[in-house]
Chain A
């Protein structure tokens, strides 16, 4: 019998080695798998490469991972925010490497990895400093930049409901990067609010089919209101 639920976040992340590349879902706080990140901090893996849209907000989640000096490099589109002080400090101290990627290119590089695509040409960033040194091509009269996929060892994401086969549905804009990150990692670990019986999720509305999911941890938490 397939059962992807594991007993705890600690058990789900126990095998993450130093130097791993980890995708972390979430856009700001929406969809950030905070319980998994807390467990990752406790687990102790170091020299991590992190893929996320941002570089942490406030003092929890990804910001706490950066504050704990576990991150060697981050790939993101929007690191600088009013509450990104842990990243700002580490970046200015040259303790963290930044690869700045336009948001749509970040999403497509992740999607490409999950879909087995070796690279793609995008019009985004053509003629800007974010395309410097990259191969370009004119296709149908338009200029494009060659971009490569981003593969990960692990993806840590948050979903709303899951069944034991790993089928997932999300909640509102907390979905953001999670469905594509789930496809792009060797091992996708999901934090879910609720576990449901097989068959309880309408097959017509399952967003992430279980084939993309390895481990699920149920984290009972009430839905907090935004600040």
Chain B
């Protein structure tokens, strides 16, 4: 079995983003999706801080402190892009105008609950940003995460043990082992990495998976 690396995971997500989509990429791993969007598709990236049509990172020396993304990294603006204030930016999110949000996660439950903002540790300083707005607002919420924790436990769980970001909000999960749809009747495997059987994936996952006819 060959696990997908970060770039392969990002490329797998990017493949599913269609022409004309309005997309928000979360901080961290999801940001990498931008680099793998198929050339030739017009896809508009939204950033919470007030920009639509986010372009690639500027060349060294061309950074502008007034042009950043939600991760506070310097970005550029595509020709035709727009700036707007925060209330408009979150109207786009909450008002169901974004086609996709791609978010990282600590855990996703079989019901599609998402936990990605707080470990729940007593001494942790909490920070939520726009995660809860994206979770309830985007038409489709896609999660990117490693399938297993460092200690080998499944991040797909019966019930999230970490504090929730949103309830029943996740539509699809992309891991380094599989692509899994969250449906009312449970988790459906769409795709499995080469060399991994459905039975082995099921053994690693711990919560019941359903096999799509087209999946390996």
B164 at the interface (CB under 8 A from A): yes
| Mask of A89-118 contacts with B, CB within 8 angstroms, 1/0 | 001100000101111111110110000000
B63 at the interface (CB under 8 A from A): yes
Of B37-45, B129-137, B184-192, the stretch lying at the interface with chain A is B129-137
A127 touches B166 (CB 8 A): yes
A126 touches B136 (CB 8 A): yes
B127 touches A79 (CB 8 A): yes
Q: Please report the total number of A residues contacting B with Cβ < 8 Å.
A: 53
Tell me the bound Cα distance from A87 to B51 in angstroms: 27
Q: Please report the total number of B residues contacting A with Cβ < 8 Å.
A: 43
A13 at the interface (CB under 8 A from B): no
Secondary structure dominating the interface of B: loop
Of B1-9, B85-93, B199-207, the stretch lying at the interface with chain A is B85-93
A123 at the interface (CB under 8 A from B): yes
Given known contacts A124-B136, A127-B166, A128-B166, A173 and B66 CB-to-CB distance under 8 angstroms: yes
Residue of A123, A130, A178 touching B94 (CB-CB under 8 A): A123
Which residues, 165 to 199 on B, are CB-close (under 8 Å) to A? 165-167
CB contacts (< 8 Å) of B61 on chain A: these are: 225
Tell me the bound Cα distance from A128 to B83 in angstroms: 31
B74 at the interface (CB under 8 A from A): yes
| Mask of A186-204 contacts with B, CB within 8 angstroms, 1/0 | 0000000000000000000
Binding site for B on A (CB under 8 A): 27-31, 53, 57, 77-81, 87-88, 91-92, 98, 100-108, 110-111, 122-130, 170-180, 207, 223-226
Given A77-B129, A126-B136, A129-B164, 16 extra CB contacts under 8 A = A30-B68, A31-B66, A79-B125, A80-B124, A103-B86, A103-B128, A106-B86, A110-B87, A122-B94, A124-B94, A124-B137, A125-B132, A173-B67, A176-B86, A178-B85, A226-B63
